[in-house]
Amino acid sequence: MRLIIAEKPSLARAIADALPGGSRREEGAIVCGESVVTWCLGHLLEQASPEVYDAADKQWRLDRLPIVPQRWKLTPRAKARGQLAIVRRLLKQAADVVHAGDPDREGQLLVQEVIEHCGYKGPVKRLLINDLNRPAVVRALSRLQDNADYQPLFQAAQARSRADWLYGINLSRAWTLTGRQAGHDGVLSVGRVQTPVLGLIVRRDNSIRDFVPHLFYPLWVELAVKSGQLRAWWVPGESQPLDDQGRLIDRSPADQLAARLPGAEGVLKQLEQQEKRQAPPLPYSLSALQVDAARRYGVSAQAVLDSCQRLYEQHKLITYPRSDCRYLPEEHLAQAQRSLGGACASDNTLGEWLAGADFSLRSKAWNDKKVSAHHALAPSGKAPDFSTLSATDANVFRLITRNMLAQFYRPLRTFEVKAQFMVLDETFKARGQSVLDPGWKPLFTTRDETPPLPSLHEGETCKALDAGVEERETRPPEPFTDASLINAMMNIGRYVQDPAVRRTLKESDGLGTEATRAGILETLVMRGYLVRQGKALRATQLGSALIAALPSAVSTPERTALWEQRLRAISERQDDADAFQHALLDDLRALLSQSDAGKLKQSLRTAQGEAATPAKRAGKPSTGKPRKSYAKRKSSGGKRKTTART
C-alpha cells in the first residue's frame, strides 16, 4: 500500500480526486485503490516542554537557565492525538510513503517530523503541489522526487523550530523570574517575533508621547496663465529657516514675499508631462487582505482570518486563504470567467463589475513562476447565498472577488503634469493629474486624487493674482492600527537601518507569516501588552516596561533577518544546523546575563509615571485647519489640506 500524507485535509481531497479509480472515505483517510491518502492538521507534533527532559525544570529557576535539551523530543498536540494515531497506524501498513507537505520549509518539516516520529524507515517520495486544480495535481503525481533531496530544507525548518523554543523558553523564564524580583506577579513572555512587534508599537507610542509640534508656513500663489488659473506653492531656498522636511518655520519671509507677489509676472521655467499606466492591484494574499479590510471596514486582522476560514471551510466560496502569494497559476486563467460568473451571480455591485470585465485581457497576476506554496486568494466559483453570510464575511468575499475582477479591466491611464514657475526670482511648484482612462479604478474608488492643471507650455508667461500664507502645525505619527501594523510586519525592513538586514527582511516576507500575524496581535492583547483604543493599538504600561527592560536586540527585528540568513544557507547546504544552534546559545547566554531586576523595576515605575503625564504639546491642539491666512485679495482657490506629519 502506498501512503500519501498531505499537510491538510483540503490538499488530501485534491490528491484523492486526481488519483485513478474510485475512492472511499475512512476515518482520517481516503482510500483510492492501492493508495491511501491521509493528512496532518497543520502540526500534529510540538516541541516537548522543559519538564519532559528534566522534572527539575517544572519549577522555574534562574540557576537552571539556559535550558538546552541534549536530545530533542516532540510530543503530540492535544487536539491532534486522534489524527496522529491514524497516521501512525497507516505508516505501519505502508510499503512506501509520499510526503505531500506544502512546497516550503514549514511544509517539509511538519510531515517529515511525523514520519520520523512514528519510526517509519521505508522509502519516502516527495510530492510538490501548489495548485489544487485536478490537471495540476495529476501532473505533480507523475513527477515524484526523492524526499532525501529535501533534507536540507527539513534541517533548516527544524533548526528554526528548535531555536524559537530555546529563545522563547529561556528568555520568558528569565524575565518572568526577574519580574518577580521587581515586584511584578505574572508571566513576562518573550519571543523572537512577538517581542519585536511589541517593540514597534512601544517605540511608536513613545514617539507620539514625546512629540513636540511646531508651526510652519506654506505660501501659495494664484497664477494666471494663457489657458486659465492654477495654484502653486513656494519652494523656500536653503537660506531660509527650514525644518528637516524643508518647511518654513519663520513666518516673516513668507509674509514679505506674499505682500510683493500680486501683480508680479513670471515664467513657466520647467514642465514635466507624462502619461502613466497603472496595472490593477494584484489578487490578495492574506496579509494584504487583512490590511485592506481593516482600513475599509475597521475589522481586526484576526476577524479577517476567521472570516476567510469560514468562507473557505464552511461556505466553500474561496480558495485556501492562508497564502502569502499574490499571483495565480496560468492554468486558472481559462476558468476565471466561469468562476467569477458564479461568484458575482447574486450581488448587484459585483454583477455590474462583472458586466464591465473584458476576459480577453491578461494581467500580470497569472504567473506560474511567482506562485509559491499557495496561490493568491480567489473565489471558488460557487454562487454565494448572502443571506447565510455575516456582514464581515460578505464584505471580505466582495473584496476578494473585486480584486480578481480587476484583473480583467484595462490599466488606469493618467496624464500627470509637474510645473515649476519663477516669479520674483523665487520658485513655485504646481502639479495636477487628468484621468485618460479610469480602467480598474472605479472598482476601488471614485475619487480623483489630484485635480488637473490647465494646458501649459514651457516658457509661457504667468501673472500672480493673489497670494497667501497658511499657518499649519506638525502632527505626531499616527498610532498603529491592525491595518498599519500588519503592513509594518509585511514590510519590516523599513524599520531597520542596515541595508543588508533590510534586504534580508524583504526577501523573507518580514515578521511572522500569513498564518501567524493575526494571532501574534491577539496574543499580545491577551497577555496584557497591548490594548485596543478604537482602531488604535497602544502598548500598556506592562508592555512599555518590558521593552524598556529588555536588551534592545530582543525588541528589534534585526535578529529575524540574521536568523533567516543562516536558515536559508542551511537549506542551500551552505551552513550547518548545529553551528547555527551553537551560535544561538552563545547569543542567548549573553542576553540572559543582562536580565536585571532593578532595571525592570525602574521601567515599571517609569511606565506608570508616563501614563499619568499628558503628552507634551506646543501651543493649543491643532484643529487641522489653517489658523490664519495672509492674503492681499480673496483667494479663488478651493480648500487645501492644512496638516502635516513628521
Q: Give me the active site residues, please.
A: 320
Kindly state the DSSP code that residue 370 receives in the 8-state scheme: G
Say how far apart CA 321 and CA 374 lie, in whole Å: 9
Sheet-wide strand order for 2-6: 24-26, 29-32, 35-39, 2-6, 96-100, 124-126, 145-146
Strands 426-437 and 228-234: antiparallel
State the first-to-last Cα distance of the chain, in angstroms, to the nearest integer. 66
What is the SS3 assignment for 17?
A: helix
Nearest to 100 by CA among 2, 20, 27, 24: 2
Identify each DSSP E strand in 328-476 by its residue range: 412-423, 426-437, 461-470, 472-475
Rg of the Cα trace of the chain? 30
Kindly state the DSSP code that residue 132 receives in the 8-state scheme: -
Q: How far from 26 is each of 5, 50, 194, CA to CA, in Å?
A: 14, 37, 40
Say how far apart CA 223 and CA 220 lie, in whole Å: 10
Around 109, how many Cα atoms within 13 Å sit in the side-chain half-sphere?
A: 20
Q: Which residue has the cell 501673472?
A: 463
Kindly state the DSSP code that residue 314 receives in the 8-state scheme: I
CB atoms within 10 A of CB 319: 25
Where do the H-state alpha helices sit in 131-150?
134-141
Q: Are 516 and 191 in contact (CB under 8 A)?
A: no
Say how far apart CA 480 and CA 209 lie, in whole Å: 14
Say how far apart CA 197 and CA 496 lie, in whole Å: 13
Residues in the chain: 646
Which grid coordinates are listed for 303? Answer: 476577524
- Beta-bridge mates of residue 98: 4, 125
CB atoms within 10 A of CB 6: 26
Output the CA torsion sign for 156, 157, 160, 163: negative
Q: How far from 445 is each of 87, 284, 401, 452, CA to CA, in Å?
A: 50, 17, 16, 18
Which grid coordinates are listed for 446? Answer: 471614485
Say how far apart CA 462 and CA 465 lie, in whole Å: 9
Cis peptide before 66 (omega within 30 of 0): yes
Say how far apart CA 370 and CA 130 lie, in whole Å: 11
